[in-house]
Chain A
């Protein structure tokens, strides 16, 4: 079945460092891909999305490109801030299965001043 694999955390960075969180997926169809972020004690917030190959999603300085050839959707940010500390989830939605989201295990990011 479909699945998502993320790099394990926790990831600890200094403020203004470059961030990459790797995400690869397995899917039989042509899924849509998402990054969600979860702050302590809260639900998930959609960070960015891409619905077809070569699409680039971007939001709040974060970017991810849908790479069909490598089945990847890596999250990047050029300069992280302390406020970016959270857990990040990569997810896919098989467009033939309605709204079912399949999530990776999550990557905890801690940014130190």
Chain B
């Protein structure tokens, strides 16, 4: 079966712009989480959605937002991009409401210049 699909794979944006990243979970999975990975901070939790509701949120500024659609696809948006937002953004999906083994996508590499 198809895995978690993230688009686009690579993105270059200018400081001050906004960006939207997309994640299509494994069919039937209703839980989607987002993570930011950087060399300095490692893997940090952004937020989790389950059945279109945000269930959990990490310690990121309000410029980072997300949503989940009725088909479980999810998007995250970052407004007013800063250089420090350059990172690999990973999406993960699960068929259960808990962390019993999330399947991760290959990520979107965002570079802010």
Partner-B contacts on A (CB < 8 A): 32, 34, 36, 41-46, 49, 51, 89, 93, 95, 97-106
Q: Does B107 contact A (CB under 8 A)?
A: yes
Residues of B within 8 A of A97 (CB): 56
Would you call the interface of chain B mostly helix, strand, loop, or mixed?
A: strand
Q: Is the CB of A98 within 8 A of B106?
A: no
Residues of B within 8 A of A45 (CB): 104
- Distance between B90 CB and nearest chain A CB, rounded to angstroms: 6
Q: Could you list some 6 contacts between A and B, CB below 8 A?
A: A43-B90, A51-B100, A93-B100, A98-B98, A99-B31, A99-B56
CA separation between A14 and B98, bound complex, in Å? Answer: 38
CA separation between A93 and B99, bound complex, in Å? Answer: 6
CA separation between A98 and B50, bound complex, in Å? Answer: 9
